[in-house]
Chain A
Amino acid sequence: MSTYTAPLKDMQFAIAEFAGLEGVAALPGCGEVNAELVEAVLTEAGRFAQGVLDPLNRSGDQQGAQWRDGVVTAPAGFGEAYAQFAAAGWNGLAAATEFGGQGLPHSIAMPLQEMWNSANMAFCLCPMLTTGVQEALTHHGSAALLKTYMPRLVSGEWTGTMNLTEPQAGSDLSAIRTHAVPEGDHYRIRGTKIFITWGEHDMAANIVHLVLARLPDAPAGVKGISMFVVPKFTVNADGSPGQRNDIRCVSIEHKLGIHGSPTCVLAYGDNGGAVGDLVGEPNRGLEYMFTMMNHARLGVGMEGVAIAERAYQHALAYAKTRVQGRAIGQKSGDRVTIIHHPDVRRMLMTMRAQTEAMRALGYYAAGALDRSKRHPEAPERARQQARLDLLTPVVKGWCTELAVEIASLGMQIHGGMGFVEETGAAQYLRDARITTIYEGTTGIQANDLIGRKVGAENGTTALALMADMRALDAPLAAAGETFASMRAGFTLGIDGLEAATRWLVDHYCREPEAAAAVAVPYLKLFGTVGGGWLMARAALIARERMGEPGADRKFLEAKLATARFYLEHLLPQARALAQTVTGGAASTLALDPAAF
C-alpha cells in the first residue's frame, strides 16, 4: 500500500507557469499572494492530505457509508477528519473574507482540490459541494440568505448539496416534477430527488440543499425551473439549527466506487412539504445552477487529475518493489524490479506525462478563472471568461476520460495483483469511473463544447487560443535540433485541431447531427493538443532554466523528458482524432436506430 505524497514541485511549477502566478498576484485582492505563500499553503495542505485524509481512503472504500432507517453514517474516522478539515480553515480558502474566508485565488484553491481528491475523493466531494453552494448563493442569493447560510458554509459547520436529478430527469432537466408552493414568506417543497451526493450524513450540524423545483404557474420545460434553498434543519432567528425539515433519506445507492460518499435518494414533503426559500428570481433556477455547475465541472476535471496522480504514485511504488524476471537481454544474473522492463516504463511514462499535461491545463483554466473574476479591465475579464468557458468542458471531459485510462494502466502495472482488491489499485479505477459521468457526461461536455463554446460563436475563442498556441512555434524552432521532432509533432497537432475546428464551425448549423456525432473525438482532440501545447512550453522552460545557478536539474531534466514523451507518444493521437472529426460523422450515423 503506498502513501500519497503531494507532488509539490510539479504543482508549484504549474501554478507559476500555467496559472501564471505573477499575473494572478497582481490582480486586485491578491496582494498577499506570492511564491512563498503558495509554498507554505501547499506544504501544509499536503501534510493534511497525507496525514489525515489518505489513511481513510481505503477504510472508507471498504466500509462505505451506511444507511439505516433514514439515518446515514459516514465511514469511521470521516466525521473527525471533517471536523479537522473545517477547523483548519481549508473549506474557506477561496471564500470571500466578509463571510470568514481567506479570499485566496482559484490558482491556489484548484491545486488544493487536487490534493484532497488524490488523498480521498469520496471524502472531499462533501466540501466540494459545499463550495458549490456558496458559489451559487453568492451570485444569486438575497442578502438575508447570504447572512443565514454563508458564514456557516464557509466555516464548514454546515455542508451543502445540489439537488437536480429525479428518476425521470437526468441529463434532461426539463422533465423535473418536484414542485414548490408559496406559503407565507417561504415555500413548501414536495418531490423526490436522486443521486444526491452527501445528501444526508452525520458529519455536520446542518445540510443546506439547493433544490430545483417548479412553481405552480411555471412554464413547461427548462424555463420553468426555480432554485430553492432547503435546509435539513430550519434555521432559527438566532441562526442556530431549529426544527427537522420534512426531508427524508429514503435510501443510498450501491455503487461501483466512491463508497465512502453516500449517494442519497431524498424524499421532500412526505409530511406536508419541506420548508424552503426561493433563490433569486422565479424560473431562473437552471441558469443559476449552471454557475455552480461550471465551477463543479472544473472541480470534477481536477478529480480526474487527482485520481490519475494517485494511481500513478501507487503503480510507481509497486513497480519499484515488485521483482519479476531478468532485465531484457540478460540470460543470467539477478532478477529485477519490474520498473526495469521497458513496457512498464512506457506505461509509467504515459501515466506521468498525461497527468502532468492534465494538471497544466487544469491550472491554466484556474488562472483564467481568477482573471475573469478579478481583472481590473472589463475587456480582459470578458476575454478570460470566454477562454474559461471554452476550456471548462475540455478540462472536465478530457481529464476524466484520461483518468479512467490512467487508473486502468495503474492496474495493468500491478498485473493480476491489480485485479485483486488487496493491492488498492482497483479502487482508483472504480473511483475514477464516476468522473466521466456526473456533472454532465463526457457526451454532454462535448455537446457543450461544439455548441455553446465553438459553433455558436463561429470558433472565435477557440481559434484565438490556437493562434496563441502557434506563437510557441518560433521558440521551438529556435531551440534547435533536439526540439525538431517535438516541433514537428506540435505543428501537426495544432493543424489537426484547427482543421477540425473549421470543419465543426462549417457543419454545426448545416448538419448538427453530424457535428454531434464527432463531438467527443473533438473534445479529446482539444484536450490532447491543449495538453501538448503546455507540455511543449514546459519543455522550453526546463531547457532555459537548466543552466541557471541553483537550478533543480533533476526536476527540470525529468520535465523535459516527460514533455518529449508526451509530444512523441501522445500528441500524435491528435492527427487520428482530427481525421475522425472531419471524416467520421457519416459512418457513426450510417445505421439508423432500427438497424441495430
Chain B
Amino acid sequence: MKVLVTVKRVIDPYVKVRVKSDGSGVETANVKMAMNPFCEIAVEQAVRMKEAGVVTEIVVVSIGVQQCQETLRTAMAMGADRGILVETAAEVQPLAVAKLVKAIIDKEQPKLVIMGKQAIDDDSNQAGQMVSALLGWPQAAFTSAITVSGDTADVTREIDGGMEKLTITLPAVVTTDLRLNEPRYVTLPNIMKAKKKPLEVLKPEALGVDVAPRLKILKVEEPPKRSAGVKVADVQELVAKLKNEARVI
C-alpha cells in the first residue's frame, strides 16, 4: 500500500513569534524553521505502518519555498521513501494547498493520505478536509489511532464529546491529532541516507493549479497584554464574575 504524507515548513514551535512592524504578517526572515508538529506525527504514523508491514511506500509532499526541501529531507530521514516539492514563493492558502495535493494524489494514486490536522502557523485546519472533498474520498480528521485492515481502516477521532470510532473505506484522507503517536528522533545514518533519496521539484503551473489567494489578510497584531488579576472575597463573588463578566457559566 502506498501512503502519501504532507509536510509543512513552519516557524519552529520553540521560537517566540513576532508580528511584523507593518502588521502584514508574522516575521519569518532568519527565524528558525521546522516541520509542523502535526505533520511530524503524520510522517511517524506512516513510518510505523511501513515498519509493521502494512505500507510499502511513503511519498512525502511539501508546498512552498526552496528551503522546504530541508523539511522533506527530515521526513525522509524519519523514514519516508521519496519527496515531492511543489515550489512556489507565493502565499498558498488552504484551498490552493488542497488543489495541489489533489493534483499530486491523481498522479501518485496512494491508498491513504495522512495530513496534519492543522499547521501551527496559521492554524487553519482546512486543507485535509478540502482534499477529501475535492477527491470525493472519505475523511477522518483529528485521529488518535489508525488501524488498516484490507480495504478499510478503523480510526479513533478526538471529538469535543470524547472519542469517536469509525471504520472508513480506503482510499481515504486522515488528519492527525497529538495523541496519535510520539515522533521519533532522527538517527544519524538515516540523515545520511536521506540525502540520497529521490526528491522531485514541481511548479504549481505544471500541475495546472492556480494558487492565487482568495482570502485577504487585513491585519495581524499581537494578542492583548494580560492585565493584572483581582482577588475575590468569596465563592459567591467568583461565581457572579464568571457568570456576568467572563460569561463562561
Bound Cα distance from A43 to B188, whole angstroms: 11
A32 in contact with B195 (CB, 8 Å): yes
B77 in contact with A44 (CB, 8 Å): yes
- Residue B215 at the A interface, CB < 8 A? no
- Residue B243 at the A interface, CB < 8 A? no
- Residue B74 at the A interface, CB < 8 A? yes
Residue from the set A43, A47, A550 with the largest chain B CB neighbour count within 10 Å: A43
Q: Which residues of B contact A90 (CB under 8 A)?
A: 188
Q: Which residue of B30, B70, B73 is within 8 Å of A554 (Cβ)?
A: B30
Least CB distance, A138 to chain B, in whole angstroms: 19
- Residue A48 at the B interface, CB < 8 A? yes
- Residue A88 at the B interface, CB < 8 A? yes
- Residue B223 at the A interface, CB < 8 A? no
**Minimal Cβ-Cβ distance residue in B for A3:** B14
Bound Cα distance from A47 to B74, whole angstroms: 13
| Complex interface bits, A537-577 against B, C-beta within 8 A gives 1, otherwise 0 | 00000000000001011110000000000000000000000
Q: Which residues of A contact B14 (CB under 8 A)?
A: 5
Q: Which residues of B contact A553 (CB under 8 A)?
A: 30
**Minimal Cβ-Cβ distance residue in B for A92:** B188
- Residue B192 at the A interface, CB < 8 A? yes
- Residue A89 at the B interface, CB < 8 A? yes
Which B46-91 residues sit within 8 Å CB-CB of chain A?
70, 73-74, 77
Q: Which residue of A36, A40, A48, A51 is within 8 Å of B77 (Cβ)?
A: A40
B29 in contact with A88 (CB, 8 Å): no
Which A43-66 residues sit within 8 Å CB-CB of chain B?
43-44, 47-48, 51-52
Q: Which residues of B contact A102 (CB under 8 A)?
A: 188-189, 192
Bound Cα distance from A243 to B1, whole angstroms: 48
- Residue B207 at the A interface, CB < 8 A? no
Bound Cα distance from A51 to B186, whole angstroms: 12
- Residue B149 at the A interface, CB < 8 A? no
Bound Cα distance from A124 to B70, whole angstroms: 28
- Residue B236 at the A interface, CB < 8 A? no
Q: Which residues of B contact A89 (CB under 8 A)?
A: 187-190
Q: Which residue of B32, B73, B189 is within 8 Å of A40 (Cβ)?
A: B73
Bound Cα distance from A92 to B188, whole angstroms: 9
Bound Cα distance from A92 to B190, whole angstroms: 13
A550 in contact with B29 (CB, 8 Å): yes
A48 in contact with B185 (CB, 8 Å): yes
Q: A5-B14, A32-B195, A102-B192 are in contact. Are A51 and B185 (CB under 8 A)?
A: yes
B30 in contact with A39 (CB, 8 Å): no
Bound Cα distance from A185 to B77, whole angstroms: 46
Which A88-107 residues sit within 8 Å CB-CB of chain B?
88-90, 92-93, 102
A84 in contact with B185 (CB, 8 Å): yes
Bound Cα distance from A52 to B185, whole angstroms: 9
- Residue A8 at the B interface, CB < 8 A? yes
- Residue A41 at the B interface, CB < 8 A? yes
Bound Cα distance from A8 to B70, whole angstroms: 16
B30 in contact with A552 (CB, 8 Å): yes
Least CB distance, B127 to chain A, in whole angstroms: 25
Q: Which residues of B contact A44 (CB under 8 A)?
A: 74, 77, 185-186, 188, 191
| Complex interface bits, A86-129 against B, C-beta within 8 A gives 1, otherwise 0 | 01111011000000001000000000000000000000000000
A87 in contact with B30 (CB, 8 Å): no
Q: A5-B14, A32-B192, A102-B192 are in contact. Are A40 and B187 (CB under 8 A)?
A: no
**Minimal Cβ-Cβ distance residue in A for B69:** A36
Q: Which residues of B contact A39 (CB under 8 A)?
A: 70
**Minimal Cβ-Cβ distance residue in A for B29:** A550
**Minimal Cβ-Cβ distance residue in B for A34:** B195
- Residue A37 at the B interface, CB < 8 A? yes
| Complex interface bits, B209-220 against A, C-beta within 8 A gives 1, otherwise 0 | 000000000000
Which A12-26 residues sit within 8 Å CB-CB of chain B?
none
Bound Cα distance from A249 to B70, whole angstroms: 48
Q: Which residues of A contact B187 (CB under 8 A)?
A: 87-89
Least CB distance, A212 to chain B, in whole angstroms: 32
Bound Cα distance from A165 to B245, whole angstroms: 72
Least CB distance, A230 to chain B, in whole angstroms: 30
Q: Which residues of A contact B191 (CB under 8 A)?
A: 37, 40-41, 44
Least CB distance, A6 to chain B, in whole angstroms: 11
Bound Cα distance from A36 to B74, whole angstroms: 12
Q: Which residues of A contact B29 (CB under 8 A)?
A: 550, 552
Q: Which 6 A-B pairs have the closest CB atoms?
A: A89-B188, A552-B30, A88-B187, A44-B186, A89-B189, A89-B187
Extra contacts besides A40-B74, A44-B186 (15): CB < 8 Å: A32-B192, A32-B195, A36-B70, A40-B73, A41-B188, A43-B34, A47-B185, A51-B185, A88-B188, A89-B187, A89-B188, A102-B189, A550-B29, A550-B30, A555-B30
12 example contacts (A-B, Cβ-Cβ < 8 A) are as follows A32-B192, A36-B70, A37-B195, A41-B188, A44-B191, A47-B185, A47-B186, A52-B185, A84-B185, A102-B189, A550-B29, A550-B30
A-to-B contact residues, CB < 8 Å: 5, 8, 32, 36-37, 39-41, 43-44, 47-48, 51-52, 84, 87-90, 92-93, 102, 550, 552-555
